[in-house]
Amino acid sequence: MPDASLAPDDATPTQPRAATHPLAIAPVPSPPSSVDGFVKQFLLNLNFDRGVALSESSVTDQYFALAYTVRDYLMARWLEDQKRQRDTQAKGVCYLSAEYLLGRQLDNNLLASRLTDVASEAMAQCGIDIEALRAEEVEPGLGNGGLGRLAACFIDSLATMSVPNIGYGIRYEYGIFRQTFVDGQQVEQPDAWLTYGNPWEFPHPEAAQTIWFGGYTETYDDGGVTRSRWIPGWSVVAVPYNYMVPGYHNGRVNTLRLWSAGATSSFDLREFNSGDYQEAVRAQVFAENISKVLYPEDSTPQGKELRLQQQYFFCAASIRDFLDNVLPEGFDLERLPERVIFQLNDTHPVIAVPEFMRILVDERGMEWDAAWALTQQCFAYTCHTLLPEALEVWSVDLLGRLLPRHLEIIYRINEEFLLEVREKFGDDEMRIRNMSIISEFPQRSVRMAYLATVAGAKVNGVAELHSQLLRDKVLPDFSEFYPDKFTNVTNGVTPRRFIRLANPALADLITEALGAGWTVDLERLRGLEAHAEDPEFRARFAEVKAANKRRLSEVLWHRDRFEVSDGHLLDVMVKRLHEYKRQMLKLLHIVTLYERVASGRVAASDLTPRTFIFGAKAAPGYDMAKRIIHLINSVGSVVNADPVLEGRLKVLFPPNYNVTLAERVIPAADLSEQISLAGKEASGTGNMKFALNGALTIGTDDGANVEIRELVGDDNFFLFGQTEPEVEALWARGYRPAEFYRENDDLRRAMDLIASGAFSGGDRSVFEPIMSNLLYDDRFMVLADYASYIDAQERVDAAYQDQDAWTRSAILNVARCGFFSSDRSMRDYIDRIWHTPPAPA
Ligand code: 26W
């Protein structure tokens, strides 16, 4: 490890340059929004930035030039917004998130800036197929799943609602792994998304910051007061990369700032001077490692040192960036709560709390109590889970080694907090131990969720049920101690990406029926209720769905050589592979249908034709999840090839499910599978996307399903399974899955068929661990909900027979789900947590 008692750094500070040209007071205006203007700007970019003539240009050149052109149109607005923000000093949101699952940028930015048609026409005039350019974009997969995609929806909504916001995060060099299947088994490949460069980012190496780690602390006398200070041991630099976040049709552009890690140049210099070139390179590599790769675990944190380094790296850079560069010089810190709220997206950025305290107390000389009072106003925490194993903890050992001063600060926060607890609850040692930010077993560690709860002005869950369980089950002592701290904000999704972009045909139909305002006022979808009663509208809606299925079919053929048969019910389960989400329940349904026909108990002609689509990545170290993927693929191979089914059941598992594929799959779906064990899925957001695109949900009483069902009505939702209290009661009585197996004929046959090796070339060992898990050791009670699930699927089959009634239900789902716009989520955050007014125009 490089030693570093070097001066806090050598990166040249940027000097604000005086504006000398008359144009310097305002940004260069946007190019004219005409096809000619666009073509000209595009050719300029192609020639001057890519250095090629149109006749010689590759698709990559053309894509880059197009992206630069769209950027050019947004630039004036972006610069104006940054200036406005500096001038008005309005309160803004700093969203701290380790993940942003953005999806492709080109279409989104065209849509936001009203350039979609102009760009298509301009490309056509240049003899370019814009579709080929769209396909050229590699999506930035800087997130695992729901939490990362939620962050992307939120920053879209904030920009659209003119709320000042900076999204802070990490520019991973490698995002979520690319999934391939080899013999049905998941194989991970690195996601080298930056290979050809990224036209959407603006690197600012001159604005790099030094981030310190390690070392030790010492006390010193400060005019009679004993203070502590940190003598760090080594450092890396954090280079900001800025991304535009355009609002929809409102001329606003916010900023997403992602940090990339590099070596301080002092490293190279010192080592170079001492002649150790190899060592200099090693230091470089060591530093770059920090932002090298996104951790692909999405629920069980591994407690890896590098992950803590990532977390501190981006939090320290972001807090300092805000205090030093966003706030005006000499800003009175006492007024900070009027200027900013730091929203903690899960526990991943919670190390920002002791970092903020350290800056205020150690660097700015503020009294502890004053600094703590500020912290408790400037931070808020969102929890995204209910699984106890997903709550992050860091061992004191590791924290003390990597961030010794932060550990001291956490200890002090805890000490003072526990004193308050004693004051309120008395010396109830059991309770003190339960509430301590430091846990003692199995090793002494810091509970980051507790730290966030104590530090935050507010703590929120992400759906009504989740927030209630958070209060009652996960943090009951805390909700008693801080009765007003806990609140709910139900998740939402952006209608720009998930309706307008993903489902243009539906968007056009809605606009025709309701006018254009719904894109930013999604409750207006209510107006569709009346149209649901109009047979002609239903026919057109059904035609949109059919067209979306054909479009998906083309995509899957092109991508994976899969065929989607006409007239099939499209039954879709896309989400991370996790036992609690219960892909196995879906699979048991499929095997049941197959077994009934294969055994001759049901005629193939009696089956409702269905195509099952799965999309799911498993964490590379999660063996059970990977085995389930293998089983899905194996069942698919057998079912798809067996003539006994007469082509009436198909199982498709396109690899590498991502945002781009989601945008094609969701609009085509008839049935949305949301089948987690009640009390385990915090919210779900896929469920909202499907309902808004006119799929009906088969789901448990879990997460946001509860609210979807309340809104769409029982007649338009296929509910099954135990409720959360029923789950609790069954656990208390003792869950004996083998009894369900013994007593349910269909279930036993399905499981026996899997166990017999029918899907593994006769090998009984491959899937045995899955079967014995379900039978003896399943925390997620798959077998307990099987009968109810099969029953609900039979109701689905029956309902699907009446296509017109089904379509009516689908329309009502769209009409009644306007609540699930992320614009509404943002309003709730603003009202309940942030108290940020929209920036004045
Ligand atoms: C490796 C540590 C780790 C742990 C948890 C990484 C990432 C996570 C995330 C919290 C996983 C996640 O995406 N959670 C999902 O968040 C969504 C947005 O709130 C919810 O809709 C989902 O229910 C929740 O599972």
Q: How many CB atoms lie within 10 A of CB 36?
A: 13
Per-chain mean pLDDT for the chain = 95
Q: What is the pLDDT confidence band of residue 12, given thresholds at 50, 70 and 90? A: very low
Torsion 101-106-109-110 (CA) sign = negative
Q: What is the pLDDT of residues 319-337, one digit of tens each?
A: 999 999 999 999 999 999 9
CB-count exposure of residue 406 (10 Å: 0-12, 13-18, 19+): buried
Tokens describing residue 179: 């999934």
pLDDT the model gives residue 693? 98
Determine whether the shortest distance from the Cβ of 387 to ligand 1 is under 6 A: no
Mode of pairing for the β-strands spanning 445-447 and 393-395: antiparallel
Within a 10 A sphere around the Cβ of 698, how many other Cβ atoms?
Answer: 25
Active-site option among 91, 257, 307, 576: 576
Would strands 718-719 and 696-699 be described as parallel, antiparallel, or unpaired? parallel
Q: What letter does residue 362 receive in the DSSP assignment? A: I
- pLDDT tens digit string along 401-414? 999 999 999 999 99
Q: Residues 6 or more apart from 344 whose CB is under 8 A from it?
A: 96, 350, 352, 353, 379, 380, 381, 382, 452, 456
Instruction: List residues bridging with 573 in a β-sheet.
Output: 614
What's the confidence (pLDDT) of residue 352? 99
Element spanning 216, H or E? strand 216-222
Q: How far apart are alpha carbons 688 and 822 in whole angstroms?
A: 10
Q: What is the pLDDT of residue 16?
A: 55
CB 492 less than 6 A from any atom of ligand 1: no
Tell me the pLDDT tens digit for each residue of 430-471.
999 999 999 999 999 999 999 999 999 999 999 999 999 999
Cβ–ligand 1 contact at 391 (below 6 Å): no
Q: Is 145 in the pocket of ligand 1 (CB under 6 A)?
A: yes
308 lines ligand 1 (CB under 6 A): no
Tell me: pLDDT of 694 over 70.
yes
The contacts of residue 545 (CB under 8 Å, 6+ apart) are 667, 668, 670, 694, 807, 810
Q: What average pLDDT does range 591-615 have in this prediction?
A: 98
pLDDT digits (tens, 9 = 90+) for 204-231: 999 999 999 999 999 999 989 899 999 9
- Best mutation site among 100, 154, 302, 385 for ligand 1, i.e. most ligand atoms within 8 A of its Cβ? 385
Written as six digits, the tokens of 588 are 């048991």
- In a mutational test of the pocket of ligand 1, which residue from 298, 582, 674 has the highest number of ligand atoms less than 8 Å from its CB? 298
Ligand 1 geometric centre to CA of 823 (Å) = 20
Q: Check residue 232 and report its DSSP letter.
A: -
CA 42, CA 21: separation in Å to the nearest integer?
A: 26
User: pLDDT-derived band of residue 279, with 50, 70 and 90 as boundaries?
Assistant: confident
State yes or no: is 575 an active-site residue.
yes
Active site residue: 320, 581, 589, 648, which one?
Answer: 581
pLDDT band at 21 (very low <50, low <70, confident <90, very high): confident
Residue nearest atom 8 in ligand 1 by C-alpha distance = 298
Distance, in Å, from the CA atom of 31 to the CA atom of 333, rounded to the nearest integer, reads: 41
Please state the rounded mean pLDDT for residues 593-620: 98
Phi, psi of 349 (to 5 degrees): -100, 20
Tell me the three state secondary structure of residue 809. helix
What are the tens digits of pLDDT across the range 495-524?
A: 999 999 999 999 999 999 999 999 999 999
Could you tell me if the CB of 68 is within 6 A of ligand 1? no
Residue 781 has pLDDT above 50, yes or no: yes
Residue in this structure with the two tokens 């958070």, named with its chain if needed:
470
Q: Find the 598 Cα to ligand 1 centroid distance in Å.
A: 39
| 162-215 tens-digit pLDDT | 999 999 999 999 999 999 999 999 999 999 999 999 999 999 999 999 999 999
Indicate the residue type of 386: L
| Dihedral sign computed on CA atoms, order 61, 66, 69, 74 | negative
| Per-residue pLDDT tens digits for 45-65 | 999 999 999 999 999 999 999
828 class by beta-carbon count within 10 Å (0-12 exposed, 13-18 middle, 19+ buried): middle
Percent of the chain residues past pLDDT 90, beyond the cut: 91
pLDDT level of residue 134 (50, 70, 90 thresholds): very high
- Of 3-12, 129-138, 725-734, the poorest mean pLDDT is in 3-12
Q: Clarify whether 384 is annotated catalytic.
A: yes
Encoded tokens for 729: 């009661």
Minimal CA–CA distance to 822: which of 10, 64, 160? 160
**CA–CA dist 235, 811 (Å, integer):** 56
Best of 100, 147, 579 to mutate for ligand 1, by most ligand atoms within 8 A of CB?
A: 147
Class of the domain covering 495-822: alpha beta
Does 684 contact ligand 1 (Cβ within 6 A)?
Answer: yes
Candidate list 630, 689, 709, 824, residue with the active-site label: 689
pLDDT at 813 over 60: yes
Q: Is the dihedral of CA 756, 757, 758, 759 positive or negative?
A: positive
Whether the pLDDT of residue 20 is over 80: the answer is no
Q: What confidence score (pLDDT) does residue 148 get?
A: 98
Catalytic residue at 292? no
- The whole-number pLDDT of residue 17 equals 56
Q: Which atom of ligand 1 is nearest to the CA of 684?
A: 21
Q: Which residue, among 206, 63, 74, has the nearest Cα to 138 in the 3D structure?
A: 63
pLDDT at 1: 34
Ligand 1: does its nearest atom lie under 6 Å from the Cβ of 301?
Answer: yes
- pLDDT at position 744 over 50: yes
Residue 575 has pLDDT above 80, yes or no: yes
Chain Cα centroid distance, residue 520: 21
Which residues, other chains included, contact 794 with Cβ-Cβ below 8 Å and sequence gap of 6+?
none
The residue from 71, 77, 252, 384 that is catalytic is 384
Q: Tokens 């047979």 identify what position?
A: 535
Ligand 1 center–CA 147 separation, angstroms? 5
Q: Hunting for tokens 């000499």 — which residue is that?
A: 330
Instruction: Write out pLDDT tens, residues 98-116.
Output: 999 999 999 999 999 999 9
pTM of the model: 0.96
Q: What is the pLDDT of residues 545-572, one digit of tens each?
A: 999 999 999 999 999 999 999 999 999 9
How far apart CA 710 and CA 708 sit, in angstroms, is 5
Rounded distance from Cα 469 to ligand 1 centre (Å) = 16
Active-site annotation holds for 116? no
The answer to whether 689 is a known catalytic residue is: yes
Tell me: the pLDDT tens digits for 74-92? 999 999 999 999 999 999 9
Q: How is the chain split into domains, by residue range?
A: 495-822
List for the chain the helix, strand, coil content (%; round to 5): 55, 15, 30
Q: Whose CA is nearest to atom 4 of ligand 1?
A: 299
The CB of 460 under 6 Å from ligand 1? The reply is no
Q: Is 394 in the pocket of ligand 1 (CB under 6 A)?
A: no
Give the residue ranges of DSSP H helices in 526-573.
Answer: 528-531, 535-560
Distance from residue 577's CA to the centre of ligand 1 (Å): 12
- pLDDT band, very low/low/confident/very high, at 28 (cuts 50, 70, 90): confident
Looking at the chain, the whole-number percentage of residues with pLDDT higher than 70 is: 96
pLDDT digits (tens, 9 = 90+) for 625-672: 999 999 999 999 999 999 999 999 999 999 999 999 999 999 999 999
Task: Provide the pLDDT for residue 284.
Answer: 84
In 85-175 the beta strands, taken as DSSP E runs, fall at: 92-96, 100-101, 141-142, 165-170
E-assigned strands of 225-331?
225-231, 234-246, 253-262
**Is the Cβ atom of 716 under 6 angstroms away from ligand 1?**
no
DSSP letters spanning 164-194: -EEEEEE--SB-SPEEEEETTEEEEE---TT
pLDDT on residue 280: 76
Q: Which atom of ligand 1 is nearest to the CA of 149?
A: 18
Taking residue 340's Cβ as centre, other Cβ atoms within 10 Å add up to: 21
